[in-house]
Amino acid sequence: MSTPNGTRNDGADLAEEAAATKIVYDLAPRCTIDDIETGKRYHASVNGVVEYGIFVDLSESISGLVHSSNLVGRYDVGDELIVELLEIHEDGDLGFAEVQMAEYDTVRVAPGERITTEEASAFTGEVVHLDGQVVQVKQTSGPTIFQVRTETGVVPCAAFEDAGVRAFPGVEIDDIVRVVGVPEPRRDYTQIEVQNLSVLTGDSAQEVLGRLRDGEAAVAEPEAVEPLVEWPAFEKLSDDLEAVARRLRETVLEGRPIRMRHHADGDGLCASVPLQYALEQFIARTWEDPDAPRHLLRRLPSKAPFYELEDVTRDMNYALEDRKRHGQKLPLVLMLDNGSTEEDTPAYRNLAHYDIPVLVVDHHHPDPEAVEELVEMHVNPYLHGEDYRITTGMMCVEIARMIHPDITSEIRHVPAVAGLADRSEGEAMNDYLALALEEGYDERRLVEIGEALDYATYWLRYNDGKELINDLLAVNCDDRERHERLVDLFAARAKRDVEIQLDAAMQHVTHEALDNGAHLYRIDVENHARRFTYPAPGKTTGKIHDRKVEETGDPVITIGYGPDFAVLRSDGVRLDIPEMVTELKAEVPGGGVSGGGHLVVGSIKFVSGMREEVIDALVEKMADAEIDEEIGTSAVLPEEE
């Protein structure tokens, strides 16, 4: 009895062996001697009868002798029988023996032409085979689409059982398979029309896995690019950035979707947009399916300066739905300009229940001990004795170039936008500004681009607004004039809305002189600023702060508070906000204090009934802080909704 092909041969070794002895191979006409092995059994047809035996054909080019001593029955030309290959003589002659089997499984063997994803389009219309790993199984209303990874990339293989019926139900994600089929040209890609799909086990599977590993190592290797600027501080991070680039390239090849979670501000966009662009190009290069970039990559803005439970719950929900509905693997989460702090760990603990790796590229003051055990990679300048001046946008532009260097000219102005948006005073800022100037952007314009981005992402809320954001940042944007007009419009609106906000709020700012000589300004952003409009409380506080710094020229601290939160900005005062939060937790019992951010810029949450106690304790600490000789060591606040 013959069973359908494509059934799984897994289970114990014994069962595998028993199954293997039942296999009879049916060679396709173009198979060659490379496709056969001694000890294996084959379907053969008689092409000649002689005194000492019969000659049999296994394919167009494979023929040999069954000596009469190895022959059981009597045959005429054209008869079919099953033979075992006994030996391949030195001169290439083949010796067979007849085998009589009551029960067997037929496995069709493809011709010698084994192709990779890359070669598929060169073999359209021909029967070929490819060996690889199933990375996605999607049931359409027509065929079942198996996305199969070979050593060079991923190719869609369409198998049809019946409309909407799962073909080869025994084949699952991660299986090592041999696909026999015909590459067919589609509109702008090649798809394999499957004739047979069989799961490989044992040595043949190991061999394929070995080839996939070698292929992946080669294809995933980041491109060797020189950093855009020479900057010793930045060089310390280059191994880390390269490791992230490699991991992302591997992730694409392995068919694991990537969910980018980025802080919804200027730097977060400068980090995520170039990476999104580079990864899309890399996916298009390694996946035949033109829809793959859309399915494998999502960019998701996060309002909070940490990974909120709301965000992670959505992420998990989407991941599980995509797995069920689209036969996708669970994703990798890539945290950008976010993700380094203890506040992120509850979210990470949720993901830890599933196979969802996390990579972090951030420049906020980190809590490495809390984060490290929960994430696979943690890149942060503070871990190398550097600080926020290396912005996430600067780091990610280099990662993007290691993934797809061809986009360099389109993204080389981005680090300057990121640096200005986050007020980086890194020594490389002048070099970054010079690069942007070569692309036609002066410093004033770069600031406006940052403001326009900030304004757009505020109103986009949870939407990535891909096309609009690309146009505003002039990345993957085909119309520079439209970019200019949009930046004009959005930057002007941002400016206008800030004016409107400050017109009201400035009247309600209170002042006191701290013991250390710094000015302290307070503003109740809940009651004295417009709510649910741009700029949000964090930015409103920041703008008030900037005005006061300019007005006084002295050390300034500004607190903007709501019922259960406060945002902090300081210039000329040596604050350590993460440290202050830790102390407040202990000193104000029942305050429910949490928060963090950069050293001199951050946010604190507390329970509303304890606001006075928390803010009083906070102000006391600020009054004790040392004054800086130099004023102007500020960074942009991670804003809160």
| Strand (E) or helix (H) holding 470 | helix 466-473
CB count within 10 Å of CB 612 equals 8
Count how many Cα atoms sit within 13 Å of the Cα of residue 506 in the half-sphere of its side chain: 13
Q: Are 158 and 194 in contact (CB under 8 A)?
A: yes
Q: Of 146-154, 155-163, 260-268, 282-290, which segment contacts Mn ion by CB under 5 A? A: 260-268
Q: Please state the closest distance from residue 583 (CB atom) to Mn ion, in A.
A: 25
Stretch that binds Mn ion, among 229-237, 244-252, 330-338, 614-622 (CB under 5 A): 330-338
Taking the complex as a whole, how short is the minimal distance between the CB of residue 242 and Mn ion, in angstroms? Answer: 21
Nearer CB in complex with Mn ion: 132/419: 419
> CA separation (Å) from 142 to 7, 149, 287, 294, 322?
21, 22, 21, 21, 19
How many Cβ atoms are within 10 Å of 520's Cβ, its own excluded? 21
Q: Which is nearer to Mn ion, 154 or 264 (CB)?
A: 264
Beta carbon of residue 508, minimum distance to Mn ion (angstroms, whole number):
29
Contact 385, 366 (CB under 8 A): no
Nearer to Mn ion, 256 or 262 (CB): 262
Q: Is 586 helix (H, G, I), strand (E, B) or coil?
A: helix
Tell the smallest beta-carbon distance from residue 392 to Mn ion (Å).
5
Rounded CA separation 532/641 (Å)? 8
**Which ranges constitute the DSSP H helices of 560-632?**
577-587, 611-624
Taking the complex as a whole, the smallest distance from the CB of residue 546 to Mn ion amounts, in Å, to 17
CA distances from 562 to 104, 585, 613 (A): 76, 19, 14
267 near Mn ion (CB under 5 A): yes
Between 175 and 422, CB nearer to Mn ion? 422
Nearer to Mn ion, 387 or 422 (CB): 422
The DSSP-derived string for 532-558 is SSSSPHHHHHHHHHHHHHHHH-S-EEE
* CA nearest neighbour of 432 among 271, 228, 272: 228
Q: Which stretch binds Mn ion (CB under 5 A): 179-187, 266-274, 485-493, 591-599?
A: 266-274
Stretch that binds Mn ion, among 6-14, 244-252, 417-425, 511-519 (CB under 5 A): 417-425
How many residues bind Mn ion (CB under 5 A)? The answer is: 3
Residue 337 as a binder of Mn ion (CB under 5 A): the answer is yes
Say whether residue 640 binds Mn ion (CB under 5 A).
no
Query: Cβ-closest residue to Mn ion?
Result: 267
Closer residue to Mn ion, CB minimum distance, 53 or 305: 305
Q: Determine if 422 is a binding residue for Mn ion (CB under 5 A).
A: yes
State the minimum distance, in angstroms, from the CB of residue 372 to Mn ion. 21
Which is nearer to Mn ion, 81 or 637 (by Cβ)?
637
Any contact of residue 386 with Mn ion (CB under 5 A)? no
Stretch that binds Mn ion, among 12-20, 418-426, 480-488, 527-535 (CB under 5 A): 418-426
- 451 near Mn ion (CB under 5 A): no
Q: Is 308 in the site for Mn ion (CB under 5 A)?
A: no
Q: Minimal distance in Å, beta carbon 137 to Mn ion?
A: 39
Do the beta carbons of residue 76 and residue 46 sit within 8 Å? yes
Instruction: Please give the structure tokens belonging to residue 390.
Output: 């290396």
CB of 603 vs Mn ion, minimal distance in Å: 14
- Interface region with Mn ion, contact rule CB under 5 A, candidates 25-33, 105-113, 329-337, 469-477: 329-337
Between residues 108 and 365, which has the closer beta carbon with respect to Mn ion? 365
Measured CA to CA, the distance from residue 79 to residue 60 in angstroms comes to 16
Cβ atoms within 10 Å of 485's Cβ, excluding its own: 12
Three-state SS string over 398-424 comes to: HHHHHHCHHHHHHHCCHHHHHHHHCCC
The residues that touch Mn ion, with contacts defined as CB under 5 A, are: 267, 337, 422
